[in-house]
Structure 1
Amino acid sequence: MHEAVVVVHGERTLTELDFSRLTRLAGQRQPPVLADLLANAEVTSSRAVRSDVVTMYSRVELVDVHTHRRQVLTICYPQDAEPAAGFISVLSPVGVSLLGLKVGDVAKWLTPHGEECAAVVESIQFQPEATGDYLT
């Protein structure tokens, strides 16, 4: 079985809280792509993050660039992941490819089978920080 690989493209923005929690979480066994994201992300305060940036627990509408299929996913920590309900772990190829992107950006990742996937961040239906929740 191949380990899924994600390439972090372009600039990403993380909140200080997300950065801190992901650094701690990843300290256990940091996937290379997450280490790359943490090393290269622009870090900002939760109160200053733009509402069009994908943060932890954001509910995001994606449109597959090849099939045009739409799906809604929520980026969460591994313990809250429930893929059948649309809760995708930040440590999954899809999750880490979305975190820190802005509306209009394209997330790219490889499936465990080596298949290339790409989807446009069509909209952010919910972002905790945009509702004044700076602690989730």
Structure 2
Amino acid sequence: MTTTTVHNDLNPEIILSTADHHQLNILAMAGLNHTPEQSDNLLYELERARVLDANSVPADIVRMGSTVRYRTDAGQEPQVTVVYPVDADIAEGRISVLTPVGTALIGLRVGQSITWRDRAHKRHMLTVLSVEQPGA
């Protein structure tokens, strides 16, 4: 007898500030003509997010401008800052929220894991290890 295990995508609760949620909705809608798949992915995340006023968002939540250290399913521990596309510079560790990893990270908190798909549709998992807010 053969047993098959089905692995569903891991979609933990995410939290966004009202301001980030609003700005990211504008970005995702504007990107539908240029980066439709990634814009759709961001819209999906925004739709399922719990939206709070900025003062109620816990300090360990990945926000726009947050510097995040995370563990990949390959055991690497990169540190990146999640930014808008215009500010992205991979050589400087600034990744766009419109990249698959950026979209996966936004709204997560320390200790949470999420599965995400790269541009080749391969599934990966990452776990947030630390979050530093801008100006902290």
**Max Rg structure:** 2
Gaps of 5+ in 1: 1-6, 132-136
- The equivalent of 2:6 in structure 1 is none
- The equivalent of 1:115 in structure 2 is 122
Query: Using the alignment, how far apart are the partners of 1:26 and 1:63 within structure 2?
Result: 26
Contact 1:8/1:97 (CA < 8 Å) preserved in 2?
no
Query: Using the alignment, how far apart are the partners of 1:93 and 1:8 within structure 2?
Result: 15
TM-score, normalized by length of structure 1? 0.82
Of 64, 68, 79, the match for 2:72: 64
Q: 1:120 to 1:85 in 2, by over 3 A?
A: same
Q: 1:37 to 1:26 in 2, by over 3 A?
A: same
Describe the superposition over 1:87-136 as per-residue Cα deviations: whole angstroms up to 9, x where unpaired.
Answer: 11001000000100110111322222232221110111x213x84xxxxx
Q: Which has the higher contact order (CA 8 A, sep 6+)?
A: 1
Structure 1 stretch displaced more, 80-89 or 23-32: 23-32
Percent of counterpart pairs with the same letter? 33
Of 61, 67, 75, the match for 2:82: 75
Number of residue pairs aligned between Structure 1 and Structure 2: 122
TM-score, normalized by length of structure 2? 0.82
- The equivalent of 1:47 in structure 2 is 55
Query: Using the alignment, how far apart are the partners of 1:16 and 1:122 within structure 2?
Result: 24
